[in-house]
Structure 1
């Protein structure tokens, strides 16, 4: 049975590396887009080398580059640029994550590409955007969320900010904003036939996450402090507590009705009216709640709270996720059967479409795996491909030099 995918007819050229760009194009590929990963003829995407590995490439690389093809081109050569420009003729989208100006210096920037293909959608995902005094700066996730004001709020009030363990800026500010931008541009192209340039700044995207904190400050100019926010553990009804077995529960009983139910279960109805009391009283309640929750294991408490509407959840560790009944019900892990690597388990496409669902159809490509195939499709003969290979302009998976 042939599945129909939402993005079946879309062709994407992906020049990005590491996480933000590849995560963006992974989502497009999961829902049917033909994503051609354009790598250089030397290191390629250095995410391939990250440990641990599945075969020749990292487990991380396989996750964010599944469902894609790979072609290796030396874009610093005239022949390599010629091949790329030929690919652009029939592409819908180009995604890249170089610093501003790199593609222009290579002679394949947006102004050149749109002359070849006026309907081309060109998405540049960068740390700070194409303009402004920071645009040429180097940076990683920690830098982007620092500038954006997010990192300031991670952690407790009397300690330094805590670095989050996941890439909030890279994914939330860059990859997802890039994906949304591409989809909006595709929608507009369907109406007008016109392509456009999408300037995604990870820093800008991260700033947009401050929808609760920043508008309040802009309205009042009152500064909020790390560890003093209602949603960052200041209050007893929104915090983390340890259980008897050294595991943890999260309590998110923000609304009065949830807090009342929680207090009833733990036998402290007197706490109900203290939901908005001072920090000192909040700390007293926290200490007493902690002493109560230490009397049972996490599982024992969850068996009690599972029947009560009070927003209490177990803090899962990685080994818990595959057994979580909600993730199992929603098929959030897919096992792919690879003839070379055997069974590989990956995170499933997260957006559930009723008619055109996403699917993991293949693992990440080997470096240059589809070079010959793609060149043949755009009119290169075997002799021409052989000549480009011997000149080092291209690389395929057979070429291990």
Structure 2
């Protein structure tokens, strides 16, 4: 079955999470993805725990269906071996700090001179320019610098770290894929390639649309956990149950709030949460805390009021809903033939490859696809 990215070749110089997940999405849509790794250890994710066969389970999840070339990019002869692939590539993804690829001789201008149609995607924390461009950082730093973390970070006694790597995935992976596809469309029209500058920190601001609107228009900027969708309302909160689980209550609209109030037996005098918000919140909390999670699961399945019991991840992967939609059907296999659930990707079924099971490549497994060349076709630059 043909897929949208058939015959598209991607050279992936990235490591860890944002770039490898982006190229996984492209591979699932049919692109040929070739990882460029350092000899010996390969990219860092291979050594992570838990181990699953030769490499880590994380590496297998993020790199299935790709190829691997092991090259020492600090050696001119090894770099030269990449030239034929660069000439044929459609997309290059890199995740080094600004200036590193230039020092290696593979900056955008260098590669575009070889292949003017290349779509060259650089993923960094702070972008290719600006005062913070060269600064080291991780997800927690990026969500902290953007103001996102301050909207719901717990208390000094119990600071809360978000359970997802928001900047890496939402600020890095998704914008990279989105803009690569836009660049492919533009190349179809003009024949020209592009350098795409993906700054994970920049791309977090869309998640704060409501806070930006509120702060700019009213002058009253949202703080830590004090707004409608960060815990400042009784209509959008986590309420502990008697057995130390949580109800995720989100009956924001009045019709859902009315159904919710009736379902839990909230005192009619407290149902107008505008009169004394704290009194209403406290009353709801007492009611929810009086029963176990299973009780509330039954109540809210009947009430249908945007309320549910928080599931564990283990429960979620067994949820009949996700099973019925085939979300978790694909598998990844290691070199020993063991299989486990593959990471689901947001590519709709009709645009995905038909391959139900795939492997991550062993280090350097595809080095034989590069011819050894003698003449230098790219000038070595000072380190």
Is the shorter-chain TM-score for this pair beyond 0.5, marking a shared fold?
yes
User: For residue 88 of structure 1, what is the aligned residue in structure 2?
Assistant: 86
SS of match in other structure, 2:163: coil
Alignment of 1:205-244 (within 5 A): 205-244=203-242
| Partners of 1:154 and 1:161 within 8 A in 2 | no
- For residues 103 and 335 of structure 2, what CA distance do their matches in structure 1 show? 41
- Does residue 1:188 correspond to 2:183, yes or no? no
Cα-Cα RMSD: 2.0
- Does residue 1:329 correspond to 2:361, yes or no? no
Q: Which residue of 25, 30, 33 maps to 1:32?
A: 30
User: For residue 162 of structure 1, what is the aligned residue in structure 2?
Assistant: 160
- CA-CA distance at 1:92 after TM superposition: 0.3
Which range is displaced more, 243-252 or 62-71? 243-252
Q: Which residue of 307, 310, 317 maps to 1:315?
A: 310
User: For residue 391 of structure 1, what is the aligned residue in structure 2?
Assistant: none
| Partners of 2:29 and 2:351 within 8 A in 1 | no
- CA-CA distance at 1:319 after TM superposition: 1.3
User: For residue 202 of structure 2, what is the aligned residue in structure 1?
Assistant: 204
- CA-CA distance at 1:171 after TM superposition: 0.6
- CA-CA distance at 1:244 after TM superposition: 2.7
Deviation sequence 1:293-314 (CA, Å, 0-9, x none): 2333212221221122310122
- CA-CA distance at 1:39 after TM superposition: 0.4
User: For residue 76 of structure 1, what is the aligned residue in structure 2?
Assistant: 74
User: For residue 285 of structure 2, what is the aligned residue in structure 1?
Assistant: 290
- For residues 259 and 359 of structure 1, what CA distance do their matches in structure 2 show? 45
User: For residue 125 of structure 2, what is the aligned residue in structure 1?
Assistant: 127
Which range is displaced more, 287-296 or 331-340? 331-340
User: For residue 367 of structure 1, what is the aligned residue in structure 2?
Assistant: 363
Which range is displaced more, 194-203 or 296-305? 296-305
Q: What is the TM-score of this pair, normalised by structure 2?
A: 0.92
Task: Describe the shift of the 1:131–1:369 C-alpha distance in structure 2 as closer, same or farther (beyond 3 A).
Answer: same
| Partners of 1:352 and 1:358 within 8 A in 2 | no
Deviation sequence 1:90-120 (CA, Å, 0-9, x none): 0000000000000111111110111111110
SS of match in other structure, 2:41: coil
Alignment of 1:133-144 (within 5 A): 133-144=131-142
Task: Describe the shift of the 1:347–1:355 C-alpha distance in structure 2 as closer, same or farther (beyond 3 A).
Answer: closer
Task: Describe the shift of the 1:158–1:255 C-alpha distance in structure 2 as closer, same or farther (beyond 3 A).
Answer: farther
| Partners of 1:157 and 1:225 within 8 A in 2 | no
Task: Describe the shift of the 1:219–1:256 C-alpha distance in structure 2 as closer, same or farther (beyond 3 A).
Answer: same
Number of residues paired by the alignment?
373
Which range is displaced more, 61-70 or 121-130? 61-70
| Structure 2 residue ranges without an equivalent (≥5) | 375-383
- For residues 353 and 298 of structure 1, what CA distance do their matches in structure 2 show? 35
| Partners of 2:52 and 2:334 within 8 A in 1 | no
User: For residue 54 of structure 1, what is the aligned residue in structure 2?
Assistant: 52
SS of match in other structure, 2:229: helix
| Structure 1 residue ranges without an equivalent (≥5) | 388-401
- CA-CA distance at 1:147 after TM superposition: 1.0
